[in-house]
Structure 1
Amino acid sequence: MSVTSSQLTLEEFLKLPETKPASEYINGEIIQKPMPKGRHSRLQGKLCAAVNQVAEEQKIAYAFPELRCSFGNRSIVPDVAVFQWGHIPFTINGEVPDNFKLPPDWTIEILSPEQKPNKVIGNILHCLKYGSRLGWFLDPDDLSILVFLPEQQPVLLQGEDSLPVLEEIEIKLTVNQVFGWLKMAG
């Protein structure tokens, strides 16, 4: 994860070319996210697919992988950003816009070995401060998920604990089911 000190404003940052992997603008600094590796990529893909399978066709919500969200003087790229259908700022042609200037309803972050947990948790807390209704912080090393809800203390869930989701999304998942997606062979 590289950090660049900068005197850029959020608006100036947003005019810069995108980087691979994505860079985020946090507290006036440009911080490049680490390149996703196998476990991270698998969990991200499965979470998006699970949410979209039950929510897209009925136009309830949509889970976007690696979507830049710029609000509250930050520009972050959650691993999964879930938006209620009515909150997606469609263009006048009904297409998905390139720029999302609002927090996701549900933000999901998957800790990579190179990441600092507090920086990632800080992004979840920023989302909640600006209107997100739910945050998940997945730690694949200890098979736990820290759940954040507005104005509440975080809850650490493990094993067969049921995971809270947005009430309008009809999906039931346990922590074991989510991390079970990592097992693909045999």
Structure 2
Amino acid sequence: MVNIAGQLTLEEFLALPEGDVYYELVDGQAVPKVSPKYFHSTLQLALGLLIRAWCKGKGRVLPEWAILLKRRGKDWVPLPDLTYISYERLPASWKRNEACPAIPELVIEMISPDQTMKQLEDKAKDYLAAGVSRVWVVDSEAINIRVFLPDGSCEVYTDNTPIVDELLPGLELTTKQIFEEAELI
């Protein structure tokens, strides 16, 4: 068992051994990430598969991939549920077993039962302030997806309204399609 109490530098955090518990680095602290439940896992898989089908040859979409960012001037290593990063930002030739070194276009977070929408809204703002272009927050209870934009606005998508974004040309998904793929409706 590794002792991770106290303040950690980015280097100390990145040197932690892999284990059964995943951590995010927040304000110098290793904060454990909640273990996903069924709704979370099935939505994560469904979205990952749908986005992967779209992004072949354009970029990569990965689950639970740590990203090296800054939050309020401090090192921050969040672990989004899904990350999409284009080959323009991180070339296809990049193949290292380490945290994502570039700022992605899109991160997706699923609300867990112990989280509030306010917590995820704050995290979305932190992602955007760090340079992430879009943040999607998926709410399995409300059956909606909130898309947070750099200008501070947020659009809520439900049912058959397509999520279309010039940042992700050719990607067109609906909340209904995603939740059906996840076999939740």
What is the aligned partner in structure 1 of residue 115 from structure 2?
115
CA distance in 2: counterparts of 1:103 and 1:48, whole angstroms: 18
Contact 2:89 2:103 in 1 (8 A): no
Contact 2:137 2:146 in 1 (8 A): yes
Q: When the two structures are aligned, how many residues end up with a matched partner?
A: 177
CA distance in 2: counterparts of 1:114 and 1:19, whole angstroms: 22
Write the mapping of 1:96-111 to structure 2, written as runs, cut at 5 A.
96-99=95-98, 100-111=100-111
RMSD: 2.2
What is the aligned partner in structure 2 of residue 69 from structure 1?
67
Q: CA deviation at 1:166?
A: 5.4
CA distance in 2: counterparts of 1:133 and 1:9, whole angstroms: 26
Give the direction of change, closer, same or farther, for the CA distance of 1:12–1:135 in structure 2 (3 Å limit): same
1:158 aligns with 2:181: no
Q: CA deviation at 1:184?
A: 6.8
Structure 2 letter corresponding to 1:68: A
What is the aligned partner in structure 1 of residue 143 from structure 2?
143
Structure 2 letter corresponding to 1:144: N
Q: TM-score, normalised by structure 2?
A: 0.84
Q: CA deviation at 1:82?
A: 0.1
Structure 2 letter corresponding to 1:64: L
CA distance in 2: counterparts of 1:184 and 1:146, whole angstroms: 18
Give the direction of change, closer, same or farther, for the CA distance of 1:152–1:9 in structure 2 (3 Å limit): same
Contact 2:46 2:182 in 1 (8 A): no
Structure 1 runs not aligned, ≥5 long:
none
CA distance in 2: counterparts of 1:126 and 1:26, whole angstroms: 11
Contact 2:90 2:102 in 1 (8 A): no
Moved more, 43-52 or 150-159: 150-159
Write the mapping of 1:12-27 to structure 2, written as runs, cut at 5 A.
12-27=12-27
CA distance in 2: counterparts of 1:21 and 1:37, whole angstroms: 14
Q: TM-score, normalised by structure 1?
A: 0.84
Q: CA deviation at 1:53?
A: 1.1
What is the aligned partner in structure 2 of residue 33 from structure 1?
33
What is the aligned partner in structure 2 of residue 88 from structure 1?
90
For residues 88-114 of structure 1, the C-alpha deviation after alignment (integer angstroms, 9 at most, x for no partner) is 256xxx352222123321000011112
CA distance in 1: counterparts of 2:102 and 2:38, whole angstroms: 29
Q: Percent identity?
A: 25
User: Which aligned segments of 4 or more residues in structure 1 are displaced greater than 4 angstroms?
Assistant: none
Contact 1:68 1:77 in 2 (8 A): yes
Q: CA deviation at 1:168?
A: 4.0
Contact 1:60 1:169 in 2 (8 A): no
